[in-house]
Structure 1
Amino acid sequence: MIKKLDWYIIKKFWGTFVYALAVMALIASVIDYSDKVKSFVKHHAPFSAQLWYYENFIPHILALLFALFIFIATIFFTSKMAYKSEIVAFLASGASFNRFLRPYFIGGGVICGVFLVLNHWVVPRANRNRIEFEDRYVHEKVTYSDHDVHLRLSPELYIFLQNYDYSVNTGYRFSSERVKGTLLLEKLTAERISYDSAKNVYHLYNVVLRTNDGIKEKLQILPELTRPYPFHPSDLYENTDMAYALTTPELDRLIAQEKLRGRESLNLYYVEKHRRTAQPAAGFILCIIGACIASRKIRGGSGLHLAIGILISALYMLALQLSTTFSVKAGLDPLIAAWIPNFLFGIFAYILYRREVT
């Protein structure tokens, strides 16, 4: 049963957390606006579009720093309770420290559960709108695709393109190979390729087409050839921001598609997928750490508690960034990369908890 004392702590918890979110959302929006205002003016972004952008920017920044917010909120209101000797009175009544932590488990669990749902479905949709706005009014338009692009379009079809110029809708040094087992069925090379968006086909120029049928080989040299290929020119440019703009089911489909195409940077997508679950769990762990640290009345008061909280938050963000970098650049397993900060700080939380209980 949730009793009055539990509701007293939970209301303080939720109230401080919401207040921290509101303050940080305002500060982040002001900083972001000051950074992008020149781009808004340069690209003539309407005021209504700017408001719409910040409606989607706020969920992004809040989700990004969620663990920090819940930790600082826990430190702040718990430290004030300790300073007023409310925690001492609670424990002096005969209640255990486990009983004192119960509203933290409930309040933190509810917040983390809500953010778990938001991370998988709501925040990605907001990121999609944010990225669309930035591509239109902030970032310069992409002119060229990546260089030396290799894609696997099906189990038998592979393509290569030196680069694609989006300004003139033309690609250069194109080749495609159709392979079955160890047999090369067809090899096509073209000096230029252009995409016909109306018919969803590609026009190839100066084509050399070689086909094999058993021991028979056929060579054709054609000035022009039209063929449908199952890819769009935008697929030639690897936009990693899309990982943050897709809901988890959509991200799973993207991973399967990019895995088929032979992309090398799949770890970034896997880390993002696992991070959406690991981050709310991190918030819960940091909530317990904050309660254990701030429940003691010390000489430095709330200021010292907040300083310790900010230091621990910075260490967590550093550990998460390092593990992500090791996964993307050095091949560390994405699941380990997303969860290793939680594992390390979970051990720290358990040590603090045992110290308070014993």
Structure 2
Amino acid sequence: MKLKIIDRYIAQELFMPFISGVLAFTTILSGSTILFQLVGDAIKYSIPLSSLLLLIILKLPYVIALSIPMATLFSTISVFGRLGNDLEILALRAHGVSISRLLIPVVIIGICISLVNLWFNEEVVPKSSTTARNLFLSFRDSDTPSIQTNINVTEYKDKLPYRIINVQEKEGVNLKNITVAEYETGSLIRLIRSKTGKWITEGGWEFYNGIMHIFPQNNPKHISIIEFEKELINIELRPADLINRNKNIEEMNRKEVIDKINFIKKTGQDPIKLIMDYHMKVSIAFSSLIYCILGACMGLKPHRSSSSVGIGLSLLIIFGYIILMSIGMGFGLSRILPPILAAWFPNIIIGLFSITLIRKLATQ
């Protein structure tokens, strides 16, 4: 079914303010977050100009992902504010078009933007952020000692993890406090813990003073336990491959976050922060939908329409959203609320507020 004229009109009116908002908020966030830090790092670690520009470009997708919900809010406030001041909304309502009907294209656009932003955060942001971090570390660590701590490496086969390695400390070819978990079709088949290990020139790793657990798939109850003083472990990774691969949350997609949560659970630690981050990836992406509805409602309220008013009102609402997000994070980390509910706390509160506004506007 083709969109009606009013739906196409609202979509067309929202397009340019949305693009302008993305550019404006990306510029503001880039200048206030990544730019000054990267310039300082470039001076400190003697990063050449070409590499600095590449780092800025690689950091932009993360900033754009943050800017999209803000731009959605700005565009809906600006467009509906202008439509209200130009009496176009009044004319439409006089012809029997309800507030709820006006919001249908807004909701559809909000869902589309949210889904695109979710995909962008899953596919583009992790890859660009990881590449940026590796490039930066290549300059930062070039003149520093080769000691690295808390290294996590996950190897995949057929899109399933088949080996997870944790090394508490690495210096050159020497390792300390090593844990290796090996899987087959998703089931744990071997767990190795060793106090020390090193790379041998013939190829392979020798582990010392460790213990090995073997879990047969055909007989899960029969677990073999082998203690050893020296054991040659067949791991194809070379010392250069065992770099510190601890990723920040923006460097991981949701599948990688789940893998890390499961790994942390196996080590006996509490992964509640990562669980919150996992749910917030979706919650923040779908804040665009909430912002669309709220922005339209705020735009319909009488106020002087201008870009400065739109940006100011957007920043005020975003500040409120950040406060609610912090409260929700606190509720989740302290387990007052389930993680998924805590992550969606700001969306729920603002969504309920938007519904109240819609009902109030509908009666005017």
**Equivalent residues of 2:204, 2:233 under 8 A apart:** yes
* Aligned counterpart for 1:277 among listed residues 272, 282, 305: 282
Equivalent residue for 1:105? 107
d(CA) in 1 for partners of 2:256, 2:360? 44
Q: 1:188 to 1:85 in 2, by over 3 A?
A: closer
Unaligned 5+ segments in structure 2 are 153-164, 181-190, 214-225
**Equivalent residues of 1:36, 1:138 under 8 A apart:** no
**Equivalent residues of 2:26, 2:67 under 8 A apart:** no
Structure showing greater Rg:
1
Equivalent residue for 1:239? 246
**Equivalent residues of 1:40, 1:137 under 8 A apart:** no
After superposition, give the CA deviation of every residue in 1:125-158 in whole Å (9 maximum; x if it has no partner): 22222322333346896844259x9xxxxxxxxx
Q: 1:138 to 1:91 in 2, by over 3 A?
A: farther
Equivalent residue for 1:154? none
**Equivalent residues of 2:205, 2:235 under 8 A apart:** no
d(CA) in 2 for partners of 1:208, 1:309? 58
Matches within 5 A, 1:42-57: 42-57=44-59
Q: TM-score, normalised by structure 1?
A: 0.74
Matches within 5 A, 1:170-319: 170-171=174-175, 192-196=196-200, 199-204=203-208, 207=209, 225-228=230-233, 239-241=246-248, 243-259=249-265, 261-262=266-267, 264-298=269-303, 306-319=311-324
After superposition, give the CA deviation of every residue in 1:277-328 in whole Å (9 maximum; x if it has no partner): 2223221112111111111223687765654432221111222233234434
Equivalent residue for 2:18? 17
d(CA) in 1 for partners of 2:212, 2:258? 37
d(CA) in 1 for partners of 2:79, 2:9? 11
How many pairs are equivalent? 328
Q: 1:310 to 1:188 in 2, by over 3 A?
A: closer
Equivalent position amino acid for 2:341 in 1: I
Shift of 1:252: 3.1
Secondary structure in 2 aligned to 1:264?
coil
d(CA) in 1 for partners of 2:343, 2:127? 22
Secondary structure in 1 aligned to 2:303?
coil
Q: 1:67 to 1:263 in 2, by over 3 A?
A: farther
d(CA) in 1 for partners of 2:98, 2:210? 81
Q: 1:285 to 1:197 in 2, by over 3 A?
A: farther
Equivalent position amino acid for 1:319 in 2: L
Secondary structure in 2 aligned to 1:202?
strand
Calculate percent identity across the aligned residue pairs: 20
Shift of 1:230: 7.4
Secondary structure in 1 aligned to 2:206?
strand
**Superposition RMSD in Å:** 4.2
Equivalent residue for 1:323? 328
d(CA) in 1 for partners of 2:47, 2:345? 42
* Aligned counterpart for 2:91 among listed residues 85, 89, 92: 89
Secondary structure in 1 aligned to 2:252?
coil
d(CA) in 2 for partners of 1:110, 1:160? 40
Q: 1:117 to 1:267 in 2, by over 3 A?
A: same
**Equivalent residues of 2:22, 2:70 under 8 A apart:** no
Query: Mean Cα displacement is larger for which, 118-127 or 322-331?
Result: 322-331
Equivalent residue for 1:116? 118
Equivalent residue for 1:152? none
Secondary structure in 2 aligned to 1:145?
strand
Equivalent residue for 1:29? 30
Equivalent residue for 2:344? 339
After superposition, give the CA deviation of every residue in 1:248-283 in whole Å (9 maximum; x if it has no partner): 333333333333x32524223322322232223221
Equivalent residue for 1:76? 78
After superposition, give the CA deviation of every residue in 1:205-256 in whole Å (9 maximum; x if it has no partner): xx59899xxxxxx999x6xx24428798998978351x33233333333333
d(CA) in 2 for partners of 1:194, 1:294? 64
Unaligned 5+ segments in structure 1 are 150-158, 177-185, 212-217
**Equivalent residues of 2:78, 2:306 under 8 A apart:** no
Equivalent position amino acid for 1:314 in 2: F
Equivalent position amino acid for 1:310 in 2: L
After superposition, give the CA deviation of every residue in 1:166-203 in whole Å (9 maximum; x if it has no partner): 34454557899xxxxxxxxx99875x543459734134
Q: 1:38 to 1:175 in 2, by over 3 A?
A: closer
d(CA) in 2 for partners of 1:167, 1:203? 15
Equivalent position amino acid for 2:106 in 1: Y
Q: 1:273 to 1:230 in 2, by over 3 A?
A: farther
d(CA) in 2 for partners of 1:188, 1:355? 63
Equivalent position amino acid for 1:57 in 2: K
